[in-house]
Amino acid sequence: VVICGYEIVHEILCKSANVSSNRKADSMPKHHSEIAEATPGIFWAEYPHWKTLRSFALSTLREEGMGKSHLEPRIMHEIHAYIDHFITPHVGQPINLSDSIMLATANVMSSMIHGHRKDYTDAFFKLWMKQFRVSLEATTKAAIARNIPFAAYFPGDFTGVKADIKAGEVTIPEAMRQVEAHKANLDPNNLVTYIDKFLYHAQEKKDDENLFTDGNAGMSMLQLYAAGTETTSTALTWAMLYMCAHPDVQVKVQEEIDNVLGTNEVRYQDRFTLPYTEAVILETLRLGNIVPMALPHTLEEEYTIDGEIHLIVILQTLPAGCELMINMASILWDEEVFEEPNKFKPERYLNGDVTLKKTRTLAFGTGRRACLGEGLARMELSLFFTTFMQRFKVSLPTGHIPNLDGVCSIVNAPAKFTVIFTER
Ligand code: HEM
């Protein structure tokens, strides 16, 4: 069942969170659900296990700096590395941003999970990330095989199952290899990464030993990469495309940055004195609708929706076990809250009922299973976007018309395009 509209989404996911916060492995096609049942990680563990793994991930990532100022230098280091490697040598030439920027957001995750970044020339790192993308795209198509399982055996691969299995043959063994490497070097006096803390917790808290397994260490790692890499890089790609499509907005952002920061390096706290720039980021998250169906939720008990939408009374009983998808566009593009919702208008966050508009920009979901990386994503978006705009003007190659229609898988991304960075 697809649930639409803020009121009902809020009613079910927040007010009735005790019945709607589970996800079940069988929401996935068979080849995934078999793996997810054995090693569910944060996404697919059932209550109360998801709560334990999620709290552990949240507190550990916060210790690693999520949303806090001590993570800033690591993100800024990555931004400079990205500019030096991918932009500076190609200034004035068209660049495919989407393929490269995910390596930068993956490296931010890598520094929190493993304690170090990978070099952009590392061939295995590039292959690993490419397989994540293949898997993300294939998983959405593979949903057909969940409902019509024999379709996976048709010649060719129109369900994406074969591509997905192949990608898993690269990503999963590599995750397990990395877990083994951390295990071999585990030093209880120097626990500075997510994986080390996970493995140490397994040794220390014997009550949790069935949950804090090596398999779940590897799966949580893969899920953090999957959830934290393509989402943030897609939001950044949309932001650059919107700047190319709306040069007047780009000029206003750059004027604000010049006036407030000059050539000083941006800090995350500067967002409070860069309201227009922040409005552009919010508008990107709203219009870009990055995760358009959120992730599935499964009802624990029968649930009756008893509400009213546009004067139509809704009374609908959903059975226990019913799977819920969230139509994020029904909230992010709600014309009752966002006037002309299909237009890119950052100033909407500076006028009128700004609090209402900000709280309805629910790009990260809502309720107990809302995005656990929101603090990290907001920090990355603010630092990357502000630095790019401070240093470069962006435009499309001459004659290219911006295509603002998304290409939808689990993530809604812009269609492939190239962007030209010019030094300011
Ligand atoms: C612009 C960037 C991002 C967007 C728009 C986004 C959005 C979302 C959404 C809509 C959900 C599903 C909520 C639900 O089903 O109720 C989600 C879940 C999740 N996100 Fe994000 N996300 C972003 C970045 C990140 C980052 C950087 C991380 C890494 C730490 C992350 C980690 C997760 C995890 C682990 C979950 C699953 C939580 C659970 O199952 O309890 N996300 N995200």
Look up the ipTM and state it.
Answer: 0.99
Burial class (CB in 10 A: 0-12, 13-18, 19+), 195: buried
Mean pLDDT of the 191-215 span: 88
Cα 187 to averaged position of ligand 1 atoms, centre (Å): 30
Ligand 1 atom 3: residue of nearest CA: 231
What is this structure's pTM? 0.95
3-class secondary-structure state, position 73: helix
Task: Quote the strand ranges of 242-356, DSSP E.
Answer: 297-298, 303-309, 312-318, 323-326
Q: Which of 22, 285, 368, 371 to mutate to test the pocket of ligand 1 (most atoms within 8 A of CB)?
A: 371
Q: Highest-confidence range of 94-103, 201-210, 274-283, 309-318, by mean pLDDT? A: 274-283
pLDDT value at 53 more than 80: yes
Nearest-atom number in ligand 1 for the CA of 366 is 16
**Dihedral angle sign, alpha carbons of residues 176, 181, 185, 187:** negative
Q: Is 388 left (phi over 0), alpha (psi -120 to 50) or beta?
A: alpha
Q: How far apart are CA 185 and CA 218, in angstroms?
A: 16
Decide the pairing of beta strands 94-95 and 419-423.
antiparallel
Cα 295 to averaged position of ligand 1 atoms, centre (Å): 9
User: What is the residue type of 368?
Assistant: R
Q: How far apart are CA 337 and CA 350, in angstroms?
A: 14
pLDDT value at 280 more than 90: yes
Q: What is the pLDDT at residue 185?
A: 92
Phi, psi of 370, rounded to the nearest 5 degrees: -60, 160
Nearest-atom number in ligand 1 for the CA of 363 is 5
3-class secondary-structure state, position 5: coil
pLDDT in tens, 388-407: 999 999 999 999 999 999 99
Other residues' Cβ atoms within 10 Å of the Cβ of residue 132? 19
Cα 361 to averaged position of ligand 1 atoms, centre (Å): 14
Q: What is the pLDDT at residue 69?
A: 85
Q: 25 Cβ partners below 8 Å, 6+ apart?
A: 32, 33, 36, 37, 40, 44
Cα 399 to averaged position of ligand 1 atoms, centre (Å): 36
